[in-house]
Amino acid sequence: MNNPRIQVLPAALRNQIAAGEVVERPSSVVKELVENSMDAGSTQVDVIIERGGQGLISVRDNGMGIAADELSLAVTRHATSKITNVDDLSAITSFGFRGEALPSIGSVSRFRMASRRKESPEGWFILVEGGQVVEEGPAAIPGGTSVEVRDLFFSVPARLKFLKAESTEARRCQQVLFRISLANLEAGFSLVANGREQFRLPPGQSLQERLATFWPRNICESMLDFSHEAGPMKVFGCAGIPGLAQARGDRIVMFVNGRPVQDKLLLSAIRGAYKGRLISREYPQAVLFLELDPHLVDVNVHPAKMEVRFQDESSVFSVIRNGISQALSRYELGVVEGPAVHDDIFKPAPQPVPSRTPQPEMTSLPIEPAAKFSSWNEFKNTDFTALADDEPAPVHRSEPLWKNDCADAAQGPSGAAEYVRENYGAYRTDEPASSSRVETAVLPSGDRYVPGSAIEYLGQVTDTYLVLKLPNGSLGLLDQHAAHERVIYENMRNQRTRGDSRPLAIPFELVLHPSEVQRVQEMWEDLQAAGFMLELEAGNKLSMRGIPPGLETGEAREYLKAAVDGQARTLEDLWIMLSCKSAIKARQPLAFDEALALLEVWVKCPQRDYCPHGRPVLVSWSALEMEKLFKRK
């Protein structure tokens, strides 16, 4: 084996290696150039891309510009105006500081930069190809800087095969400019792709106004403002309400001292604020700005400057979680005005107004929820149709089971009957209520036994878990929310994948945001299989002409909105999300017959041991395990 000598790499090779760290794809170039524009104090930045950025990336700004005698230094590695000594590294306030971006870009493209300072009589340009300066001279430019990057990666063609489709790369460029624009509301931005203007953001917009260009209207209008300070740290921004959470985390945008970052600590703090409000697969929308002393954060830990390191991670975590949690709590308590969402399904429940008259202190024992039927047989033999049409709603001491966050139509006896048929009846057989199936089975009899099984229902604890005596004598605890999730999910999966559709007399029309058009196109076949008859007109008008037979028009509309809002990647995800939102919640008292009704349909479900998210529905302890718990063994 040869013993190669250690040698200094040629300048061109050094620049290409650096480019491999800084310039991953066209969006990396857009990020570096636009951040340079912001460091130069620009109030207007215009970006043009062609072929997803591979053909052309043009960035034009009105910043302070670069002096003619400094242009050649600007494309030299480790030459910068943003730091001067080692101490500056501990308190970086600019976006760029290493002096690697421009020479790295120039080493893998045909790079032309023209600039003029306001006090200079004329501008100057420099042309770089493959890392070598090939031409420079005077240029006609009104002020600021203009950079053109053509034929990206022409000198390293092996890198081209790692690029995605042109539309994907263009979308990434748009996302980069979107993030930078959120942190610089005082500046205007525009993007033109293949000759077509994608957006134009005027300077001086509010955060919500700028968000509305990229995110659906109902999400932007429902965002909750938050602001919180703790010592030298301040966090502010806006966060989405739990009811509009989605299955992807692509609408969580984070900034540290104005710098867009991707940081696990910040993401964990945001999700921590929603703990108990969202399921594990759901992500909120959030735009978070963290401001702190530059000495307390190190931004020099990643070549692309997307990661940072904090001196006091626990304090950062706390200030973010507390800031968002306080905003969510105020919203839930009705202290702040509810989100401007036009659908009642997303509005918080009205809160009672406390009386100003002092009330005497009283202690009372908890009251068991009143059953709606005196026995299980009465419940089974009740004609719900007659109840819905003729009888008045019964009055009970506790809230009826049928009232929950996603059952607007289930108010009053008619809604209760429909909810029983559609949800608790999801896995009943087609046999009439008077069937002797249960009576003839060799099973224990009595009001406490779940019909069709040898499971005995013993009661409810913490208004969340149903206590069961299982057929083998074990003690079981069943999570009522998880069990009901499984029931609703299986009903959706079995009934709504056959492509059957019920035409609507009057089609429902929905004007889509550009981001929603893409989601609808991705889910088009799944939505058709579910029974939706859809037409996309004029590029952004979605017309719903038919709906699945098992859904009412209002329910079908909510399904469709949830799909286009991005709350689910696939139809399967949509079912999981909606089954969770529709299911009985924890800490909700169940009357005796309500619990038996849930248990009867649950025992007939396939995969009933786990909810659609994969969490256990039932845990149990055998006699031996209980003896060990009490140290009898």
pLDDT tens for 208-223 read 999 999 998 889 989 9
Q: What is the mean pLDDT of residues 275-288?
A: 86
Alpha helix (H) residue ranges in 216-294: 217-221, 264-273
pLDDT averaged over every residue in the chain: 78
439: region left, alpha or beta (phi > 0 left; psi from -120 to 50 alpha):
alpha
More confident residue, 610 or 253: 253
- Give the pLDDT of residue 416: 33
pLDDT of the residue at 344: 30
* pLDDT > 80? residue 407: no
Is pLDDT at 466 greater than 80 in this prediction? yes
Which of 346, 369, 399 finishes a domain? Answer: 346
Q: Do 45 and 160 belong to one domain?
A: yes
Q: Which of 11-15, 397-401, 605-609, 623-627 has the lowest mean pLDDT?
A: 397-401
One domain for residues 294 and 217: yes
Question: Measuring CA to CA, which residue among 247, 241, 240, 245 is closest to residue 613?
Answer: 247
Non-local (6+) Cβ contacts of 605 within 8 A are 427, 486, 487, 490
pLDDT tier at 45, thresholds 50, 70, 90:
very high
Percent of the chain with pLDDT over 90: 36
Among the three residues 171, 201, 231, which one is the final residue of a domain in this structure?
201
Supply the pLDDT for residue 335.
56
pLDDT over 90 at 629, yes or no:
no
Mean per-residue pLDDT, 140-164 = 89
d(CA 196, CA 190): 11
Q: Are residues 168 and 220 in the same domain?
A: no
Out of 51-60, 220-229, 486-495, 575-584, least confident range: 575-584
Indicate if 291 and 309 belong to the same structural domain.
Answer: yes
Q: Any idea how long the chain is?
A: 633
Assess whether 87 and 183 both reside in one domain.
Answer: yes
Report the C-alpha gap between 167 and 164 in whole angstroms.
8
Using alpha carbons, list the distances in angstroms from residue 424 to 149, 255, 441, 530: 62, 46, 22, 21
pLDDT confidence of residue 1: 55
Q: How many domains does the chain have?
A: 2
Task: Flag whether 560 is in a domain.
Answer: no
* In a shared domain, residues 118 and 163: yes
CA 519 from chain centre, in angstroms, equals 14
Which residues constitute the domain of residue 321?
209-346
Tell whether 168 and 272 lie within a shared domain: no
Contact 552, 500 (CB under 8 A): no
Other C-beta atoms lying within 10 Å of the C-beta of residue 12: 13
**CATH assignment at residue 324:** 3.30.230.10
Question: Has residue 259 got a pLDDT over 80?
Answer: yes
Least confident of 244-258, 376-390, 537-551, 585-599: 376-390
- pTM given for the model: 0.61
Pair 298, 215 in one domain: yes
One domain, residues 129 and 155? yes
Lowest mean pLDDT among 100-104, 384-388, 535-539: 384-388
Residue 117 φ/ψ, nearest 5 degrees: -75, 155
Per-residue confidence at 339, pLDDT binned at 50, 70, 90? very low
Residue 337 confidence (pLDDT) above 60: no
Which of 183, 201, 219 lies at the terminal end of a domain, its last residue? 201
CA dihedral (543, 547, 553, 554) in degrees, to 10, reads -80
Asked which of 204-208, 418-422, 521-525, 551-555 is least confident by mean pLDDT, the reply is 418-422
Tell me, what's the pLDDT at 498?
60
User: Other C-beta atoms within 10 Å of 627: how many?
Assistant: 12
Q: What pLDDT band is residue 51 in, cutting at 50, 70 and 90? A: very high
Q: 3-state secondary structure string, 456-508?
A: EEEEEECCCEEEEECCCCCEEEEEHHHHHHHHHHHHHHHHCCCCCCEEEEEEE
Write down the residue that tokens 């939102």 correspond to.
581
What is the model's pLDDT at position 169?
95
Q: Which one, of 552, 551, 548, 518, lies nearest residue 533 by Cα?
A: 548
Q: Which helix or strand (DSSP H or E) is residue 144 part of?
A: strand 144-150
Q: What does the alpha-carbon distance between residue 318 and residue 253 come to, in Å, rounded to a whole number? A: 18
Structure confidence at residue 570 as a pLDDT band (50, 70, 90): confident
What's the pLDDT at 284? 93
Per-residue pLDDT at 440 exceeds 60: no
